[in-house]
Every structure is written in structure tokens, then in C-alpha cells.
């Protein structure tokens, strides 16, 4: 299997009473009150340093993503980060996993095709092309996309990007949302026919269908642990089974928060406050921001309300403030503890969920730089080697071909 470090690039120093004083971490927090641009520059550089450190320590890939107007994770231009990472990891067998540039809000979407192709060229064919739909806060509230159009815009952008990569000839694109008379992008990606595509999702049937139809990797990105994750991934694998699709575990990705200490007690002592910060502050999002009208189609809306999923999500979100570190750890929202504890729980999760492309969030909330490096080092030295062989009988067709061999651990 392949294991990559994910980084959100959050604000690390929000005030202690942030969630009492402000309505939301997303869309409307006042930048000048809460942040200093020079200090933010330090956050960006730490983020790059931490990801490069992870690459050198032996992680298979490094991941960044795109969000807007927030303190939760503010890389509005993920390809700016990806570009620096591709350059700094030249010569390393490390995937540049862009999770990624948001399709419905990039105009025209050929811009994603171009920038991803640039990254694939700069990195020598090491790009994983994540294709996110975008959160409602980003796409609808910050970038003005009508919620009811977002998914259709996504599908059109996806088809346009793949055609722009694949087509030798210049072509005209007469779409509903995009009309481009002369598409002939420069450059084209190194990887043929195109870099592996990963589709982040939150458990909707339409996304499973889409990922399966195009033979893309489906990634479930959640902060609520492998328990909720299992419900979703069981549904996904059942869907794959019913469709007669090969159940290659690498067809699925999963995100997990992970912190590693010397002992279980050491992990709690070192990381508890940062985990708490993440759930209390970084996820301080009014529930209705997550579901503006039209974000779900009528079928999904009906299902969410009638099945009680909407009410359960509300309950989980409302309860987060009362969680202790032990509860986060016991429910595996965070897999936390000594290296032995972490590798046992992580192996179990990987097997239960049947995922071959794992993303681990090794920087969480307010974690300072030095502690992040320590977490990366412990993970790379004492956890990673014990998980590499999982799913070894299956080829990871969703990983850059030149990197599919097993990485040698270096320099830890």
C-alpha cells in the first residue's frame, strides 16, 4: 500500500476563546483581527518544510488541498504549494498528491489540466491528480457557484480536463458551462494516458458511481474515524461488488488523523491540546454552512433527512466540544499512542476499510513545527515499515507508475 502525509496548513495560533468569540472558522472570520501576514508566511514555510521532511523520512506521498476564506486550512492555491514540493523533492520517489485543485471553481477548468500537467512535468511524472468537488463554503459561499449547479459543473470540468490531456488534436468544447473554441493545452502530462485521478467524497452514491465509471480512486476524507468510515466504505465495496468491478484495495483512499508518542501516555501528554484545538476551533463551522439548499440533489436530501443521517451528523458535530482526548482516541477519530498502539490500530483500520491508499494527517491544529517533525519521524521509523506490505498482492494502479515499487527508507 501507499501512505502519504496530508497537510491542511491551518492557522496554528488562534486565540483560546476563538470559538466563543467568532461565528465560524470558515467564510467570515476576520483575517486582520486573527492573523498576521508575516506570521502566516511562517506557517506556509513550516508546512512546506514538514511535507518535505515527510518525503525525506520515507512517506510515499505528500498531499495538499484547496480551501478559501478560513483558518482551518488556507491554501487557496494548492498548486503553488505543489510546485514548491515537486521541486524540493526532485530525485525522491515521492508522489505529489494534489487533493487538490477544485474543479467547479477553476475557470476555465483547462487551467487545472494545465497546472497539473506542469506539476507532472516538473516532478518527472510523480503527480496524483485529485479532483475535488469543493466544500459548500468554498464553492458556494466564497466562490459564488449556485449550489444546485456545483455537481454538474464538476462533471463537465472533469470530462473537459481528461479530454484536454488525452486529445492529440485541438478540439472545440461546447459545454453547458464552458465554451472553449480551441483547446490544445501546453504542456501535456508525462504520465500516459493521464496521471492517476483521485476523487474525494463523503459517502454519496453518485460519487461512487462516478469514480467507478471512470476507474478513479475513491477517497473518503473524514475526521470521524474508522467507525463512521467503515459504514461508508462497506457501502462502497458493496457497490463495487454489485457492479462486478475488481475489488482492488488501492481503488480506495482514506484519511486518518495520527499522532505517535514514546508511549500512549506520552502521546496524550504531547498531542491532546492540539487535537482538542483541531476539533474545537478548526471545525468550528455552523452546520447550515455545510448544506446550503441545492448542495444535495433531491434524492440525497430526502435520504439524509428521512434516514436520520442529517440529524446524526448534527448530533456528532454538536457533541464534539464535549469530547476528551481519550474519547477522540478510543473512537479513533485520532489514532493515537505509542508506535505499537498506532500500528496495530492503523493496520486494523486499513484492513477493515480495505484501503490501499492511506493519507495520514500528521500535523494537527496547533501542533508546533518541532512536534510535527517528531510525529513524522516516529511515524516514518516505527509505524510506516510495518504497514508497507499490506495489500502487496494487488497492483496500485492509482499511483504514478514509476513509483509503484516499494520505497527504501532513507535518512531517518
Partner 1 sequence: MPATATQTTSAWAGRVQPRVHIAGDGPPLVFLHGAGGLTWDPFLDALAKNFTVYAPEHPGTTPGDPDGVNSIDNLWDLVLYYYELFDSLGLESPAVVGHSFGGMVAAESPPPEPSRVSRLTLISPIGLWRDDTPIPNWMTLTPEELTPLVCADPQGPVAQQMFALPEDPDAAADATIQFVWSMACTGKFVWPIPDKGLRKRIHRITAPTLIIWGHRDGLVSPIYAEEFRSRIAGSRVEVLEDAAHLPQLERMEEAVRLVTEFCSS
In the complex, the residues that contact partner 1 under the rule CB under 8 A are 140-141, 144-149, 176, 286, 288-289, 292-294, 297-299, 301-302, 305-306
Shortest spacing between CB 178 and partner 1, in angstroms: 14
Beta bridge partners of 259: 336
Q: Which is nearer to partner 1, 296 or 332 (CB)?
A: 296
Shortest spacing between CB 110 and partner 1, in angstroms: 22
| DSSP letter assigned to residue 26 | B
Shortest spacing between CB 285 and partner 1, in angstroms: 12
Rounded CA separation 100/77 (Å): 9
Give per-residue burial for 199-209: e unless 16+ CB within 10 Å, then b. bbbebbeebbe
Shortest spacing between CB 357 and partner 1, in angstroms: 33
| Contact by Cβ (8 Å): 68, 25 | no
Query: Given the DSSP bridges, would you call strands 334-338 and 217-220 parallel, antiparallel or unpaired?
Result: unpaired
Rounded CA separation 29/289 (Å): 13
Q: Which is nearer to partner 1, 310 or 340 (CB)?
A: 310
Classify residue 172 as exposed, middle or buried by CB count within 10 Å of its CB (0-12, 13-18, 19+). exposed
Taking Cα atoms as reference points, which of 256, 257, 263, 259 lies closest to residue 338?
263
Q: Which is nearer to partner 1, 9 or 145 (CB)?
A: 145
Q: Which is nearer to partner 1, 125 or 294 (CB)?
A: 294
Taking Cα atoms as reference points, which of 389, 379, 262, 367 lies closest to residue 47?
367
Shortest spacing between CB 135 and partner 1, in angstroms: 13
Taking Cα atoms as reference points, which of 336, 334, 325 lies closest to residue 260?
336
Q: Which is nearer to partner 1, 19 or 50 (CB)?
A: 19
Shortest spacing between CB 159 and partner 1, in angstroms: 18
Rounded CA separation 61/154 (Å): 25
Q: Which is nearer to partner 1, 293 or 392 (CB)?
A: 293
Shortest spacing between CB 77 and partner 1, in angstroms: 22
Copy the grid coordinates of residue 249.
484495495
Query: Given the DSSP bridges, would you call strands 95-98 and 61-64 parallel, antiparallel or unpaired?
Result: parallel
Task: Give the three-class secondary structure for 270.
Answer: helix
Q: Which is nearer to partner 1, 125 or 147 (CB)?
A: 147
Shortest spacing between CB 69 and partner 1, in angstroms: 13
Q: Which is nearer to partner 1, 144 or 411 (CB)?
A: 144
Q: Which is nearer to partner 1, 289 or 323 (CB)?
A: 289
Task: Give the three-class secondary structure for 403.
Answer: helix
Shortest spacing between CB 311 and partner 1, in angstroms: 10
Percentages helix, strand, coil for the chain (3-state, rounded to 5) are: 50, 15, 40
Amino acid at each position: 500500500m501507499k501512505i502519504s502525509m496530508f497537510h491542511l496548513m491551518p492557522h496554528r495560533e488562534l486565540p483560546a476563546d476563538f470559538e466563543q468569540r467568532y461565528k465560524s472558522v470558515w467564510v467570515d472570520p476576520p483575517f486582520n483581527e486573527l492573523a498576521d501576514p508575516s506570521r502566516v508566511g511562517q506557517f506556509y514555510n513550516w508546512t512546506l518544510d514538514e511535507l518535505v521532511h515527510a518525503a525525506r523520512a520515507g512517506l510515499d506521498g505528500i498531499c495538499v488541498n484547496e480551501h478559501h476564506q478560513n483558518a482551518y486550512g488556507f491554501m487557496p492555491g494548492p498548486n503553488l504549494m505543489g510546485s514548491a514540493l515537486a521541486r524540493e523533492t526532485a530525485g525522491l520517489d515521492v508522489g505529489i498528491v494534489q487533493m487538490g485543485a477544485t474543479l467547479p471553481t477553476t475557470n476555465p477548468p483547462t487551467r487545472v489540466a494545465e497546472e497539473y500537467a506542469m506539476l507532472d512535468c516538473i516532478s518527472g511524472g510523480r503527480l496524483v491528480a485529485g479532483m475535488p468537488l469543493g466544500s459548500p463554503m468554498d464553492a458556494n459561499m466564497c466562490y459564488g457557484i449556485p449550489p444546485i449547479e456545483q455537481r454538474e459543473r464538476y462533471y463537465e470540468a472533469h470530462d473537459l480536463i481528461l479530454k484536454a490531456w488525452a486529445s492529440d488534436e485541438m478540439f472545440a468544447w461546447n459545454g453547458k458551462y464552458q465554451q472553449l473554441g480551441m483547446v490544445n493545452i501546453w504542456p501535456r502530462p508525462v504520465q500516459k494516458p493521464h496521471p492517476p485521478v483521485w476523487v474525494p467524497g463523503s459517502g454519496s452514491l453518485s460519487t461512487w458511481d462516478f469514480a467507478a465509471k471512470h476507474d478513479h480512486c475513491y477517497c473518503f476524507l473524514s475526521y470521524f474515524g474508522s467507525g463512521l468510515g467503515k459504514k461508508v466504505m462497506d457501502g462502497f465495496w458493496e457497490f463495487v461488488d454489485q457492479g462486478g468491478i475488481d475489488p482492488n484495495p488501492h481503488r480506495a483512499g482514506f484519511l486518518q488523523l495520527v499522532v505517535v508518542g514514546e508511549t500512549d501516555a506520552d502521546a496524550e501528554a504531547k498531542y491532546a491540546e492540539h487535537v482538542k484545538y483541531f476539533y474545537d476551533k478548526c471545525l468550528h463551522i455552523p452546520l447550515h454552512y455545510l448544506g446550503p439548499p441545492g448542495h444535495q440533489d433531491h434524492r440525497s436530501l430526502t435520504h439524509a433527512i428521512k434516514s436520520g443521517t442529517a440529524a446524526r451528523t448534527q448530533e456528532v458535530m454538536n457533541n464534539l466540544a464535549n469530547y476528551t482526548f481519550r474519547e477522540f482516541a478510543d473512537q479513533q477519530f485520532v489514532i493515537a499512542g505509542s508506535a505499537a498502539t498506532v500500528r496495530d490500530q492503523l493496520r486494523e483500520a486499513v484492513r477493515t476499510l480495505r484501503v490501499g491508499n492511506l493519507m495520514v494527517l500528521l500535523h494537527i491544529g496547533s501542533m508546533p513545527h518541532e512536534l510535527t517533525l517528531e510525529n513524522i519521524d516516529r511515524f516514518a521509523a516505527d509505524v510506516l515499515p510495518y504497514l508497507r506490505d499490506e495489500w502487496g498482492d494487488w497492483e496500485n494502479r492509482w499511483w504514478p507508475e514509476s513509483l509503484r515499487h516499494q520505497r527504501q527508507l532513507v535518512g531517518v
